[in-house]
């Protein structure tokens, strides 16, 4: 079963965001998916835009590219701060992360 099937999000557009208030700065996310996550000089992780721009606004989201879905999900699962949230764009329901149902 694919990650998409497991989450019930086959064909759904997903986005990811990081709660910097909970970020521990371990950098696991940037190791798994450096195209999506980056540590800034403040030691916290942020998402990056599709144009590789660091998005530092609180609650900033970025699309999850399908080829990187597994890496983004693994980042959320392994994050010691439990601060990575992956949700469906259509209804903003969290499918991976601390608030996933």
pLDDT attached to residue 101: 79
**63 - beta bridge partners?**
15
Q: Which two tokens stand for residue 4?
A: 């998409």
CB atoms within 10 A of CB 88: 16
pTM: 0.88
pLDDT attached to residue 6: 54
| Position with higher pLDDT, 4 vs 41 | 41
- pLDDT (tens digit, 9 = 90+) per residue, 49-93? 999 999 999 999 999 999 999 999 999 999 999 999 999 999 999
Q: Which residue is listed with tokens 């992956």?
A: 86
CB atoms within 10 A of CB 48: 18
pLDDT attached to residue 12: 84
| Position with higher pLDDT, 6 vs 64 | 64
Q: Which two tokens stand for residue 81?
A: 């701060």
Return d(Cα 47, Cα 61) in angstroms, integer. Answer: 7
Residue 82 burial by Cβ neighbours in a 10 Å radius (0-12, 13-18, 19+): middle
Question: Above 60 in pLDDT, residue 2?
Answer: no
Return d(Cα 6, Cα 100) in angstroms, integer. Answer: 13
């Amino acid at each position: 079963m694919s990650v998409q099937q497991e989450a019930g999000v086959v064909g759904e557009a997903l986005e990811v965001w990081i709660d910097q208030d909970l970020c521990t700065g371990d950098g696991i996310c940037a190791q798994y998916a450096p195209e999506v996550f980056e540590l800034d000089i403040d030691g916290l992780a942020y998402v990056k835009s599709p144009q590789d721009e660091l998005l530092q606004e609180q609650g900033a989201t970025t699309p999850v590219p399908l080829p990187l879905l597994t890496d983004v999900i693994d980042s959320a699962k392994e994050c010691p701060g439990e601060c990575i949230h992956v949700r469906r764009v259509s209804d903003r329901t969290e499918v991976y992360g601390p608030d996933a149902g």
